[in-house]
C-alpha cells in the first residue's frame, strides 16, 4: 500500500495493527505491487551519507548522492560510472524524486530515524546502517512507518549475512553447548580526549547545520563530527550502541531472542574522565537479566576477552555442555571451527540464509518478503543497547517490559524513551 497521508506522532508511536485483504491472481512479485518493484525490474537507489561506511554503499549505478560535506560527495561521485548521479546536500531532494525507488542511509546515528520515517512516507524502501535508532520511541516509529507505508527496511547489521554468524546461531540453537545461561560480550574501551572542543570556523565545504539536523545545537569542532560523533550521547552514545548493535544482533539470533516479549532488568556501571568534551564512559559494564527462559547477557569494556581475540571484541556463550566463541559480529564475524563445521541435522533448527546484506534487501523488495535484518528485529536489538546507556546515565537498575515497550514503575526512565528534536525536525 502506498499513501501520501502523514502519520501524526501519536499514530506513528502507537501500536496499531492493520490488515489488508488484496485479492490477486498473478503473483505480486512478478508484476510488482503498486509502489513496488517487480522481480525483473531495476531498483533505482540513492545514497544518503557517503563518508565512512557510506562510501562502501555507493555502486557504479547509484542514481543520487547526498552528503553534507562536499569532499565526501565528490569522492562518492567518482565511483559512479554509469550515468551522472544527482548530487545534493539536502536528503529531501532525493526523497522528492519519483525516479528513486530506494535509499541507503549511512549518516550519523541521530539522523537514522528521521530519515527512515521520511523515506517511507515518500514511498522509498530503506537500507539504514546500524544502530537502528537513537531512542526506543524512534525505533518504534521506524517499524510503524515501514509497516504503514508497506516499505522494506533493512538494518545494516551485516553479521546476519555471514556464514560465521549463521554458524553461531545454528550451533547454539541446536543445543551443541547445551542450555546457554550466560553470554558475555567484550569490547575495547571507548575513545577519550583531553580536548574541550572549543568552537572553530565551519569549513566552507560543510553544512554544519544540516549535519546536526535534529540534534541540539553545538558549535562546530572537528572532534565532534565524522568518526568522532560516536563519543557523544547526543550523536553516537559509545561502542555499546555502535558495535554493540552488531554483537547483540548475533547473540539475539543465536538465543532465539528476536521476538522476546518478557521483562528484562538492566544495570550498568562505568567511568568517564573528568576532562575533555566526550561524554560517554571510557569503561563500561552492563548486565541484562531475562526471564522465561532465564539467562544473562553482559557487556564489558574491556570485559574478559579470551586469548583467541583477533578483533578486539566478541562474545562467549556459556552452556551447561560447553562454550562457544564469537569474534566480532559485523561483516567480519568469525567463530570456532566446531561451529563452522557443524551441519544442522534433519529436523533441526536452521536460521535463514543470506550471503550478501545488500542483495538480501533488494531481493526482499522484489519478492515482498522481510529482509534478514528487518527493521523490527533491528529495533528489538538496539533497545538492549539503549537500555544499557539509560541504566548508566541514571546510575541504577531499570526494568523494561518488551511487551508494553516501556519501563515498569519508573517515570524518570520513561522520560528517556524519547529524545529531544531541534526544529524543524521531529518524529
Interaxial angle between packed helices 239-254 and 375-394, expressed in degrees from 0 to 180 and rounded to the nearest 10: 130
Sheet hosting strand 334-335, strand order edge to edge: 334-335, 322-327, 313-319, 180-187, 295-301, 283-290, 263-271, 398-401, 406-407
427, part of any domain = no
Of 159, 184, 218, the residue that ends a domain is 159
> Model's pTM, two decimal places?
0.91
171 vs 16: CA distance, rounded Å? 36
**Based on the domain organization, do 293 and 402 belong to the same domain?**
yes
Are 286 and 143 in the same domain?
no
pLDDT of residue 307: 83
- pLDDT > 90? residue 6: no
Q: Do residues 350 and 402 both lie within one domain?
A: yes
Over the chain, what is the mean pLDDT? 91
Are 106 and 79 members of one domain? Answer: yes
DSSP string of 150-211, one letter each residue: T--EEEE-GGGGSHHHHHHHHHHHTTTT-SEEEEEEEEPPPP---------PPPTTB-HHHH
Distance CA 129, CA 114 (A): 13
CB atoms within 10 A of CB 402: 17
Whether residues 403 and 254 share a domain: the answer is: yes
For residue 160, give the nearest of 244, 255, 253 by alpha carbon. 253
- Give the end of a domain, one of 159, 174, 193: 159
Whether 129 and 271 share a structural domain: no
Residue 287 shares a structural domain with residue 342: yes
Q: Max Cα separation, the chain?
A: 66
**Do 115 and 82 reside in the same domain of the chain?**
yes
Report the CATH number that the domain containing residue 199 is assigned in CATH: 3.30.360.10
Tell whether 100 and 32 lie within a shared domain.
yes
Residue range(s) defining the domain that contains residue 257: 162-354+373-414
Axis crossing angle, helix 375-394 with helix 136-148, rounded to the nearest 10: 170
Q: Which residues fall within 8 angstroms of residue 393, CB to CB, at 6 or more apart?
A: 233, 416
Same domain, yes or no: 199 and 152: no
* 318 & 256 share domain: yes
What's the number of domains the chain is made of? Answer: 2
Query: What is the pLDDT, as a whole number, of residue 40?
Result: 54
Look up cell 559509545; give the residue: 238
- Cβ(151)–Cβ(123) under 8 Å? yes
- For 7-20, how does the pLDDT look when each residue is reduced to its tens digit (9 = 90+)? 454 444 443 333 22
Residue 46's CATH number: 3.40.50.720
Task: Kindly state whether residue 211 falls inside one of the protein's structural domains.
Answer: yes
Helix axes 112-121, 136-148, angle to 10 degrees: 20
What is the per-residue pLDDT across 190-217, written as a single tens digit (0 to 9) for each? 999 999 989 999 999 999 999 999 999 9
Q: Which domain-ending residue is among 93, 124, 159?
A: 159
* Whether 339 and 220 share a structural domain: yes
Say if 80 falls within a structural domain. yes
Confidence at residue 308, expressed as pLDDT on a 0 to 100 scale: 73
Amino acid at each position: 500500500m502506498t499513501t501520501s497521508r502523514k502519520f501524526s506522532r501519536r499514530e506513528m508511536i502507537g501500536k496499531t495493527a492493520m490488515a489488508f485483504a488484496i485479492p490477486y491472481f498473478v503473483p505480486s512479485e512478478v508484476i510488482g505491487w503498486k509502489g513496488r518493484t517487480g522481480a525483473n525490474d531495476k531498483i533505482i537507489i540513492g545514497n544518503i551519507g557517503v563518508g565512512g561506511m557510506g562510501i562502501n554503499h555507493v555502486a557504479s549505478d547509484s542514481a543520487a548522492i547526498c552528503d553534507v560535506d562536499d569532499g565526501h560527495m565528490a569522492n562518492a561521485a567518482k565511483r559512479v560510472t554509469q550515468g551522472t548521479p544527482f548530487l545534493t546536500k539536502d536528503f529531501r531532494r532525493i526523497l522528492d524524486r519519483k525516479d528513486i525507488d530506494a535509499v541507503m542511509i549511512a549518516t550519523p546515528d541521530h539522523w537514522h530515524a528521521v530519515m527512515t520515517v521520511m523515506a517511507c512516507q515518500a514511498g522509498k524502501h530503506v537500507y539504514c546502517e546500524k544502530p537502528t535508532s537513537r531512542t526506543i520511541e524512534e525505533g518504534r516509529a521506524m517499524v510503524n512507518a515501514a509497516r504503514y507505508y508497506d516499505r522494506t527496511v533493512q538494518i545494516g547489521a551485516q553479521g546476519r549475512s555471514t556464514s560465521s554468524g549463521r554458524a553461531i546461531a545454528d550451533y547454539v540453537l541446536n543445543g551443541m553447548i547445551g542450555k546457554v545461561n550466560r553470554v558475555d560480550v567484550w569490547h575495547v574501551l571507548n575513545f577519550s580526549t583531553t580536548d574541550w572542543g572549543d568552537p572553530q570556523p565551519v569549513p566552507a565545504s560543510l553544512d554544519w547545520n544540516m549535519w546536526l539536523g535534529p540534534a541540539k545545537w553545538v558549535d562546530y569542532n572537528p572532534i565532534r563530527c565524522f568518526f568522532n560523533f560516536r563519543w557523544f550521547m547526543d550523536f553516537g552514545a559509545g561502542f555499546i550502541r555502535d558495535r554493540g548493535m552488531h554483537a547483540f544482533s548475533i547473540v539475539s539470533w543465536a538465543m532465539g531472542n528476536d521476538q522476546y516479549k518478557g521483562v528484562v532488568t538492566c544495570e550498568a556501571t562505568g567511568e568517564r574522565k573528568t576532562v575533555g568534551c566526550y561524554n560517554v564512559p571510557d569503561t563500561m559494564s552492563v548486565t541484562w537479566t531475562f526471564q522465561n527462559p532465564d539467562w544473562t547477557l553482559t557487556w564489558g569494556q574491556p570485559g574478559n576477552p579470551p586469548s583467541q581475540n583477533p578483533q578486539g571484541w566478541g562474545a562467549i556463550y556459556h552452556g551447561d555442555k560447553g562454550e562457544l566463541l564469537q569474534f566480532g559480529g559485523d561483516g567480519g564475524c568469525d567463530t570456532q571451527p566446531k561451529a563452522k563445521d557443524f551441519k544442522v541435522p534433519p529436523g533441526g533448527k536452521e536460521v535463514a540464509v543470506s550471503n550478501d546484506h545488500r542483495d538480501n534487501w533488494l531481493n526482499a523488495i522484489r519478492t515482498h518478503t522481510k529482509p534478514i535484518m528487518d527493521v523490527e528485529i533491528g529495533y528489538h536489538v538496539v533497545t538492549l543497547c539503549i537500555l544499557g546507556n539509560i541504566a548508566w546515565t541514571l546510575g541504577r537498575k531499570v526494568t523494561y517490559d518488551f511487551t508494553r515497550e516501556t519501563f515498569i514503575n519508573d517515570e524518570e526512565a520513561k522520560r528517556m524513551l524519547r529524545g529531544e528534536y531541534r526544529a524543524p525536525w521531529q518524529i
